[in-house]
Each structure stands twice: as structure tokens, then as C-alpha cells.
């Protein structure tokens, strides 16, 4: 019989487990606190449990604990890129970015990805598997332990499509934001999606206060399909409807991510089309100069083109920022660390 992954269990589930072992529910709360507040990685550390209970737990359960394979530190801004090994040897990556407003961690939601976006390194070898809730949480826990600094913001923008792993993602969100764990504010959590329409709506129905970031990358269906195969399944119009639905259910304004790809979606006509598409929406556009990926032949837009694009949107009354590049000296685009490792 395979062991229960106790770190993916919610508090009521841990309490239930302990009751099924003949213990009182408060033991469950104690253990949950060890795992999610004190960030214990073994039952041995749980000094207020009896030796007998620790042994019984170790027989029934395993505690997910990622292994840090490498850490790269930026000399420019202190950004730290982590390569973690999962229990089965798969590799994932996470990034810590230090901002004025706090420490932000970017985590992966899957090992690999099956969405196939043309400019993205994470999808080149397809999807290996979903991450469990514990594997998502542990990226944050490991980084907090490594730096000794509190993580205040989390973005699910690493490898993988979070809404393609909905149930584990939802468990992760609950455990990360509730008062029994790190208690990160829902408002400090961003989930980024390429536009899995039914699950955008499902998330909206949960009525959480988190930010939904939608990877738009093109102002027309035709252009979008060229960059993102998922657009063939979920057309632009449906994505926009789902985004408006998210806002209507949560009152949270949508962030649209738009990777500027030299000569493909970065012209004045594209900016005008994008302004038209977003007209009247309470939203924010984040322009990302595309990160060149060795296996693809995309190039970054010229600085002047980027600034013109931004100005055009602003003239149309749209909130827009150009994403600051963090840790430029330590590796290429997201997903490249993991890929380079696999090649070695
Ligand atoms: N699957 C989710 C989240 C992971 S990707 C999504 O699609 O939103 C996080 C963001 O990085 C997405 O907007 C994605 O399109 C973008 N991205 C991927 N590769 C990139 C690259 N080479 N340059 C710039 N942005 C990239």
C-alpha cells in the first residue's frame, strides 16, 4: 500500500486521519502546524508527539520534501532561481524575487506542460505530470527556510498550466491562504492561465480574492492561434467572456499578460486592436518583452517599439506596465533551467 502524502491533506483531513488512528482531533492540528507553520520535514522533529505516534505516522504517511538541486543568485537584484528535485527525480524550478513590497515566489504547477505555446521553453518536452498540493507548497516552504525571510507574495507563473491541474491547485490555494498555514493573503496570490475557459469560470465561482492573470499575447483570434495552440480549443471571445465573468464574481480586476514578440504582435496596429479588445474593461496589461528561447526563433521587440506600444495603450486609457526583468544575469526564460538540467 502506498503511503499517504500527509502534506497534501487539509486540516480536517489530517484531523480525520488522526482520529482513524485512535487519537484526538487536536493531535491533527498539532501535526498540521508542524507541517505548515513550522515547516517540519520529518515526524522526528515533532517533539510534542509520543515516540509511538511518530512511529505509527511514519509507517502510514510520507512527508513531501523537495531537494534543492541548485540555487542561482543574481548579482544585480538578489533574485534566486531554484532547481528542485521531486521525490520521483523529476525536476522543477521556482524563483524568489525581492521587491520593495516584499518577497515574491514564482512557483511551478506541473512538471512540464502540454499547452504548446510557441515561445515557451516549459512546453518543449510536453507534460510529465501534475504537481500535488504539497509539491506546490513545498517550493515556497523551501525558499522561506533557505532565506530565513518571510514570503509575502506568490505567483503561479512557473512551469505548467495551473488550471490544467485544478483540484490540486485549489487545495494548494486553500492551504497557503488559510490561517493554519503560512496565511498568505489571497490578494497577494496570482494565478496565471493561458485561458482554460471552463476552469476560469470554475475558479470565478469560488469567489476568491486572488488575481487572475490571463496570458493573452495577441489581440485577434488568428494571431493568438499562431502563438498559442490552446486558442484553437478556447477562442479569444470565450476567454474574454470568462475574464469578464471572473471580474463580475470577484470584483478583482484581471491582469492581461502580453509577451511582445518582435515583428509578430508588437506593431501600432496590434496595440490599437488590443485597446479595442479591452475597451471598457477594468483591467491591467503587463507587457513582457519575450525572453528568447534557444529552441525557438523568436526575437525581442526593440525598446522603442515596446515603449510605443505602451504609450498607445495608455492613450486609450488602459492601465499598462512593462514587466521589469529580474535576475537577468542568471538564466534565460522560465523553464530553461529545468530543460538544461535534463539535457545534461
Ligand atoms: N501556463 C500559465 C502560467 C505559466 S507561464 C500561462 O500560460 O499563463 C507564465 C507567463 O510567462 C505566461 O504569460 C507565459 O505566456 C509567459 N511566457 C512563457 N514563455 C515566455 C517567454 N519566452 N518570454 C516571455 N514570456 C513567456
Q: For the chain, first and last CA: distance in Å?
A: 34
Q: For 219, phi and psi rounded to 5 degrees?
A: -90, -10
Sign, Cα dihedral of 230, 283, 248, 192? positive
CA trace torsion 228, 85, 181, 10 (10° rounding):
80
Confidence at residue 219, expressed as pLDDT on a 0 to 100 scale: 98
CA trace torsion 164, 165, 169, 171 (10° rounding):
140
The residue whose CB lies within 8 Å of the most ligand 1 atoms, and thus the one to mutate among 215, 301, 324, 326, is 215
Confidence at residue 127, expressed as pLDDT on a 0 to 100 scale: 98
Instruction: Label residue 24 exposed, middle or buried (CB < 10 Å: 0-12, 13-18, 19+).
Output: exposed
Residue having the nearest C-alpha atom to atom 15 of ligand 1: 215
CA angle 198, 202, 172 (to 5 degrees): 120
304-330 pLDDT, tens digit each? 999 999 999 999 999 999 988 778 788
Structure confidence at residue 343 as a pLDDT band (50, 70, 90)? confident
8 Å CB contact between 309 and 262: no
The residue whose CB lies within 8 Å of the most ligand 1 atoms, and thus the one to mutate among 257, 293, 332, is 257
Average pLDDT score over the chain: 95
Which residues in 153-169 are b (16+ Cβ under 10 Å) and which e? bbbbbbbbbbbbbbebb
Confidence at residue 20, expressed as pLDDT on a 0 to 100 scale: 97
Active site residues: 93, 334
**C-alpha 255 to ligand 1 mean position (Å):** 13
DSSP label of 115: S
75-95 pLDDT, tens digit each? 999 999 999 999 999 999 999
8 Å CB contact between 318 and 278: yes
Joined together, the cell numbers standing for residue 103 give: 518577497
Give mean pLDDT, residues 11-40. 98
The residue whose CB lies within 8 Å of the most ligand 1 atoms, and thus the one to mutate among 229, 288, 333, is 288
**C-alpha 277 to ligand 1 mean position (Å):** 20
The number of the ligand 1 atom at minimal distance from the alpha carbon of 257 is 13
Give residues (CB < 6 A) around ligand 1.
115, 117, 119-120, 157, 161, 192-194, 215, 257, 259, 288, 290-291, 293, 333-334
Residue having the nearest C-alpha atom to atom 7 of ligand 1: 194
Confidence at residue 196, expressed as pLDDT on a 0 to 100 scale: 98
- Per-residue pLDDT for 332 more than 60? no
184-243 pLDDT, tens digit each? 999 999 999 999 999 999 999 999 999 999 999 999 999 999 999 999 999 999 999 999
Taking alpha carbons only, the member of 203, 193, 120 closest to residue 167 is: 203
Residue 95: C-alpha distances to residues 80, 92, 107 (Å): 6, 11, 7
Which residues in 12-22 are b (16+ Cβ under 10 Å) and which e? eebbebbeeee
Q: What region, left, alpha or beta, does residue 80 occupy, with left being phi > 0 and alpha being psi -120 to 50 degrees?
A: beta
- Per-residue pLDDT for 333 more than 60? no
- Give CA–CA dist 326/320, Å, rounded: 18
Residue having the nearest C-alpha atom to atom 21 of ligand 1: 291
Beta bridge partners of 257: 215, 286
Confidence at residue 328, expressed as pLDDT on a 0 to 100 scale: 75
Amino acid at each position: 500500500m502506498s503511503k499517504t502524502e500527509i502534506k497534501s491533506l487539509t486540516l480536517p483531513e489530517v484531523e480525520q486521519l488522526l482520529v482513524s488512528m485512535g487519537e484526538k482531533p487536536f493531535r491533527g492540528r498539532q501535526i498540521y502546524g508542524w507541517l505548515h507553520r513550522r515547516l517540519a520535514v520529518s515526524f522526528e522533529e515533532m517533539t510534542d508527539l509520543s515516540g509511538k505516534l511518530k512511529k505509527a505516522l511514519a509507517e502510514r504517511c510520507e512527508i513531501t520534501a523537495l531537494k534543492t538541486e541548485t540555487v542561482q543568485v543574481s548579482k544585480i537584484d538578489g533574485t534566486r532561481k531554484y532547481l528542485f528535485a521531486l521525490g520521483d527525480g523529476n525536476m522543477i524550478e521556482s524563483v524568489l524575487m525581492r521587491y520593495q513590497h516584499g518577497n515574491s515566489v514564482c512557483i511551478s504547477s506541473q512538471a512540464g506542460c502540454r499547452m504548446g505555446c510557441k515561445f515557451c521553453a516549459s512546453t518543449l518536452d510536453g507534460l510529465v505530470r501534475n504537481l500535488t498540493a504539497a509539491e506546490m507548497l513545498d517550493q515556497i516552504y523551501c525558499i522561506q527556510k533557505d532565506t530565513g525571510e518571510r514570503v509575502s507574495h506568490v505567483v503561479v507563473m512557473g512551469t505548467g498550466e495551473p488550471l490544467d491541474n485544478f483540484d490540486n491547485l485549489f487545495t494548494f490555494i486553500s492551504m497557503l491562504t488559510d490561517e493554519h498555514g503560512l496565511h498568505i493573503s489571497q490578494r497577494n496570490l496570482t494565478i496565471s492561465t493561458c485561458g482554460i475557459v471552463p476552469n476560469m469560470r470554475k475558479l470565478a465561482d469560488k469567489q476568491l480574492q486572488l488575481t487572475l492573470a490571463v496570458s493573452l499575447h495577441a489581440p485577434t483570434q488568428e494571431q493568438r492561434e499562431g502563438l498559442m495552440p490552446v486558442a484553437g480549443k478556447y477562442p479569444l471571445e470565450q476567454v474574454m467572456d470568462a475574464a469578464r465573468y471572473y471580474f463580475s464574481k470577484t470584483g478583482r480586476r484581471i491582469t492581461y499578460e502580453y509577451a511582445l514578440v518582435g515583428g509578430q504582435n508588437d506593431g501600432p496596429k496590434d496595440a490599437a486592436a488590443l485597446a479595442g479588445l479591452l475597451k471598457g474593461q477594468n483591467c491591467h496589461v503587463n507587457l513582457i518583452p519575450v525572453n528568447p528561447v534557444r529552441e525557438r526563433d523568436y526575437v525581442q521587440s526593440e525598446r522603442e517599439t515596446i515603449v510605443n506600444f505602451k504609450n498607445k495603450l495608455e492613450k486609450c486609457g488602459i492601465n499598462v506596465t512593462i514587466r521589469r526583468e529580474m535576475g537577468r544575469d542568471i538564466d534565460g526564460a522560465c523553464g530553461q533551467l529545468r530543460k538544461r538540467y535534463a539535457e545534461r
